[in-house]
Amino acid sequence: MPKTLIIGYGNSLRRDDGLGIAAAERLMEIFAEQDGIEVVAATQLTPELADKIKNFTEVVFIDCSVEGEPGEIAMNEISARPDIIPRLEHSISPAYIINLTKKLYNTNPHAIVFSLTGKEFGLGESLSEKVSNQLGNLIEGIRKYIEGLYQ
């Protein structure tokens, strides 16, 4: 049976950038009673997450994207790549965290990113209408994906 870690991340004070946290909070409620599934909400990805990820066979990242049309949902697989080097900027990527986990702990969980393209990233705590309207569809896609792992 897989062990799944869901990590929703972003800045909840920058409108649509808070999508990952909003999604994680809803998924915490949905999977609260399910063994083998843990949900984390984070402001950003940090190297310390590798220590947590090492204990899981599946990792699902949730983030707001700036690529594509606002409201567009995407799912992309991630693999550990030795050429991924973090930029010492705002945050590090899911691919870097997976690579770090592999290097430090010799584990290589399957990892994917669910993203929803945002529209508004200025100051504020609410999601834009376009993103808010798609949040339920994103949650449902993630829920179905994870339930498929446990069948």
Convert the pLDDT of each residue in 58-113 to its tens digit. Answer: 999 999 999 999 999 999 998 766 555 555 545 688 998 999 999 999 999 999 99
Convert the pLDDT of each residue in 106-118 to its tens digit. Answer: 999 999 999 999 9
Q: Which domain holds residue 117?
A: 4-149
- CATH value at residue 45: 3.40.50.1450
Q: Can you give the pTM of this predicted structure?
A: 0.92
**Three-state SS letters, the chain:** CCCEEEEEECCCCEHHHHHHHHHHHHHHHHCCCCCCEEEEEECCCCCCHHHHHCCCCEEEEEEEECCCCCCCEEEEEECCCCCCCCCCCCCCCHHHHHHHHHHHHCCCCEEEEEEEECCCCCCECCCCHHHHHHHHHHHHHHHHHHHHHCC
Instruction: Provide the domain count of the chain.
Output: 1
